[in-house]
Amino acid sequence: MEPMTTLAERIGQDLTVAMKAQDAPRTSVLRMAKTALKNREIDKKSPLDDAEAAKVLQGMVKQREESVEHFKKGNRPELAAK
């Protein structure tokens, strides 16, 4: 039986797969997620558990959603589409 992987490990594995598949958008998103998790881990000075990792990722999603709203309000649909 394979040991359970953490959320951060899974993101790393998915990043490798995306890079090999040359999936640029997915690679970009996974790199951002991996970096955010690593930065939080450095700030905390200890490894993150899955709950903490999920909280970091939820924060990233919220930031992106707010950015889309601001771009739409600012009449910048090309940036909102990214």
Task: Compute mean pLDDT per 10 residues along the chain, 82 residues long, and list them.
Answer: 78 96 96 96 93 95 91 83 72
The Cα–Cα gap between 21 and 25 comes to 11
Does 1 map to a domain? Answer: no
11 located within any domain: yes
Q: What is the total count of domains within the chain? A: 1
Q: Examine residue 2 and state whether it is found in any structural domain, yes or no.
A: no
Residue 71 domain-assigned (yes or no): yes
- Please classify residue 75 by burial: count the beta carbons closer than 10 Å to its beta carbon, then call 0-12 exposed, 13-18 middle and 19+ buried: exposed
Q: Give the domain range for residue 33.
A: 7-80
The reported pLDDT for the residue numbered 72 is 86
Predicted structure pTM score: 0.80
**CATH classification at residue 47:** 1.10.1510.10
DSSP 4: P
